[in-house]
Structure 1
Amino acid sequence: MKNLPFAAQTPVSVGRVGLMARDGNRVADYYKALLGLTELRRSGNVIALGVGEREILEIEGSAALREDDPRSAGLFHTAFLLPARADLARWTRFAIDNRIPVDGASDHSVSEAVYLTDPEGNGVEIYADRPRENWTFDGGSVRMGTEALNIPNLLDELIVGDPEWKGAPDNTVIGHVHLRVGDVADAERWWNDAQRFDTMLHYGGQAVFLSSGGYHHHIGANSWRSSGAGPREADRTGLGFVELLSKNASAESASRDPWGSEIRVIPAA
């Protein structure tokens, strides 16, 4: 698809995220209402959601799963990248008007973001990037900060007669995935070696941001609450898989990070 954000034009990008849920229907309904994602496929206990005809989120339900432990390795948040700042402004107005609970809203210099939590405790980020030419680089590192989002300024993006939020535009993508890991240095080495991702920023000693092709980050990894965590337990809710689209891959493959999180790679169309 043309006109995808820069995050999806790099040699490797995020295609889909898979979630494991105790109540798959409830979780799917949340993302449909929150972002206007469309149900594109349903097979047994698996529901695939997306924009246009492109899947970006797969939810597998099983009542036998145990609740995710936020101190374990796994998913910190899935970040849905809207194509333009005006789209984020429309969604923010929609969230205010509908009293959607949010956890926070931040200006990260390279992007503006709103944070939420889905019904089963999975972190959600909805964000828009600033133009790449406005990002600041120190050598090979991108400069990212965390300041309060100026919501009035964001809403000023909307003009009289601006259309209301009607759901995520067709060129919405998952811009990045942020993972919980047991050791940030081990995570960095794995992503550098196994996926050839570049380190874009160290955030203290407990977070690292990595990417392909100069994006600010396709993958974040932190140990803020999960330091020392061992392998992820397979019968927990939360992360099912991260799927990467690679322009360099000739065949599908799958591997696991040091904590057992499944990382799939498929050839980019």
Structure 2
Amino acid sequence: MTGHVGRVALRVTDLDRTVAFYEDVIGLETLDRADGRAVLGVDDPLLVLLAAHDRPARGPDETGLFHTAFRVPSRAALGDALDRIETGWRLDGASDHHVSEALYLSDPEDNGVEVYRDRPRDDWPVDDEGRVGMDTLPLALDPLRDAAAGADRAPSGTDIGHVHLEVADLDAARAFYVDGLGLRVRQAMPAALFLAFGEYHHHVGCNVWNGRSKPAEGRGLAWIELVVDDTETIRERLDPDAVTDRPDGIDVDGPNGITVRVRRR
């Protein structure tokens, strides 16, 4: 099975402010906007924002989004992202994960955001069992500032490299995403799983770090999209009652009330 992350959809209260954040800070472009819905991206649509005034805020015990991770194609682009964050927003953290360099922040609705660039794949540490070695080390920011090229928008090649979820149970998450959707375990920790199609370090992360246990019902994550080469094999593995057909694939009710949209390439 091959695949990658497509779009992420978020339910938000203040559509104008959230659109402005993803344009001015993350550097996306609004591709379409109408009827309480905005679609943003670079080369392709990446983020769907849905006005949701009638939904309650996400509760402190609800599962859902940990962060959406926007992947930029170069260190210069990451330096530009750092400049936009420090100029117009606030940086929450910065980490060297061996496989990538990452910046962390939250959008105006407290949805987690990561902006990162991958290191060359030949430099990724991989053990004899094929597990990729990721860590969380401090990232020096001055060299990253020096790498900036001065761009006020994310460049061509920017996409959503992965999405990280807060789940209630890692065993249930593994059964759904690995046995059902066909991702591989790339790294397993006592409280987190990192899963991918093929040899990538991870397309989906799942953690129980904050002990969330209730299904996702409030504002925040509406759905994530995985783009794959074979939706029929996935359909055969899943509970038919959890699957809804779409013209280009299926929607699946995953664990913890998280909807996964599976789209054919």
Aligned residues: 249
Match of 1:263 in 2: 260
Per-residue deviation, 1:99: 5.0
* Structure (1/2) with the larger helix percentage: 2
Counterpart AA for 1:252: G
Structure 2 counterparts to residues 28-107 of structure 1, below 5 A? 28-52=19-43, 54-96=44-86, 98=87, 100-107=89-96
1:187 has 2:177 as partner: no
- The answer (yes or no) to whether the contact 2:26–2:153 under 8 Å persists in 1 is yes
SS in 2 for 1:141: coil
For 1:246 and 1:191, the matched residues in 2 are separated by 13
SS in 1 for 2:142: helix
Structure 2 counterparts to residues 117-132 of structure 1, below 5 A? 117-132=106-121
Match among 214, 219, 226 for residue 237 of structure 1: 219
Per-residue deviation, 1:27: 1.2
SS in 2 for 1:67: coil
Match of 2:183 in 1: 197
- The answer (yes or no) to whether the contact 1:72–1:226 under 8 Å persists in 2 is no
Match of 1:24 in 2: 15
- The answer (yes or no) to whether the contact 2:69–2:113 under 8 Å persists in 1 is yes
1:253 has 2:250 as partner: yes
For 2:214 and 2:112, the matched residues in 1 are separated by 21
SS in 2 for 1:189: helix
Q: TM-score, with normalisation over the residues of structure 1?
A: 0.88
Match among 135, 149, 153 for residue 167 of structure 1: 153
Q: Identify unmatched segments of 5+ residues in structure 1.
A: 1-9
SS in 2 for 1:14: strand
Identity %: 38
RMSD: 1.6
SS in 2 for 1:30: helix
Q: TM-score, with normalisation over the residues of structure 2?
A: 0.89
Q: Identify unmatched segments of 5+ residues in structure 2.
A: 233-247
1:209 has 2:209 as partner: no
Runs (4+) of structure 1 exceeding 4 A deviation are none
For 2:161 and 2:144, the matched residues in 1 are separated by 20
